[in-house]
Amino acid sequence: MGCCATRRSDPALLAAHGTEAAKVRVTVVLGLAGQRFSPAPFDADAPLLELQAAIRAELRIPVAAQRLILENRVLESEGQLLGPALGVPQGGEVEVTCIRTNMPPEIQRAADCSLLLAAARGCQAQLSQALEDGAQASGLGGGPDCEEASLGERQAPTPLMMALALGEKGGPGAAGAACAALLRAAGAAEPDMEPRATSLGQAFTVGCLADVVRLLARRADPNTVLRRGEGLEATSGGSALHACCALQRTTPGALEVAQLLCKLRADLDSTDAEGDTPLAHARYFQSREMYSLLEAHGAKVAGPFYRFRRSGFEP
């Protein structure tokens, strides 16, 4: 039936349920392929998102990439109840066409960042959810080999690189190995883990966070002292966490590398040349995401800058 999906009220279906909630039976047709499936009946007053979740589970199409069409009309899911949205508020049978589209860029980027962060955490549940939500296993912007990716995205670590950097045995390594297996199953390509830089300072200097992760995977010290120009701003010396706070505004992957550093037991109380902690830097650079991440790991604002001054940023 193409895009000309149909609907009809079903008195028998209504009568069978008596005083129970009215039910809607939906047949989903997958675009031009014509593949069909019928999920279990829905309550008419259920959110339309329940249908989209069923489509995601059966057809592996992220909710944000679904375009549902009923009688040549595109359905809007936000805040809609299933029965009224499908034209059968009292229950009935409906045929809906689902077309897979590209996700909006901002939603795609959010999903990709969620996947990268989950890999850095070694969290299988969050990683699986991000993949279901349409994250690209290849990495930010499609990964380092994608021509459409920005320079920053091509220099960012991939999720599989993050998982490998956690190690393979014991502690965070066990979680990293499990995440690596999930990413490979999702189609992630094996990354090049050979560092170009010889030190974390050199990698931060050129803004190549992929190399930072490669070096950490080779057991570079996460508490290496960096100097001015090695990713740092507003200080002449500090740690990799200080550098991530400065880079987070401009460099894709900085937040996620900070998460990896925390997982690898970087010192949250390390101080820069003036005595300020990474959390003080996150506050100084007004990075709410970085501030929340570090604070969740137990970091504290300390050092002379906020002892004598007050910032306009209140976390």
Domains of the chain: 7-100 (3.10.20.90), 104-192 (no CATH), 194-315 (1.25.40.20)
Please name the residues in contact with 163: beta carbons below 8 A apart, sequence gap of 6 or more: 119, 122, 176, 177, 179, 180, 183
Tell me which DSSP letter residue 89 carries. T
pLDDT tens digit sequence for 92-101? 999 999 999 9
pLDDT of residue 172: 75
Stretches in the chain below the pLDDT threshold 70: 1-20, 168-171, 308-315
pLDDT of residue 314: 59
pLDDT of residue 106: 96
Please name the residues in contact with 309: beta carbons below 8 A apart, sequence gap of 6 or more: none
Neighbours of 219 (CB within 10 A): 10
Question: How far apart are alpha carbons 164 and 213 in whole angstroms?
Answer: 9
- Output the CA torsion 69→71→73→77 (10° steps): -50
| Amino acid (1-letter code) at residue 301 | V
pTM higher than 0.95: no
H or E segment and range at residue 237: strand 237-238
Residue 1, classified by CB atoms within 10 Å of its CB into exposed (0-12), middle (13-18) or buried (19+), is exposed
pLDDT of residue 2: 40
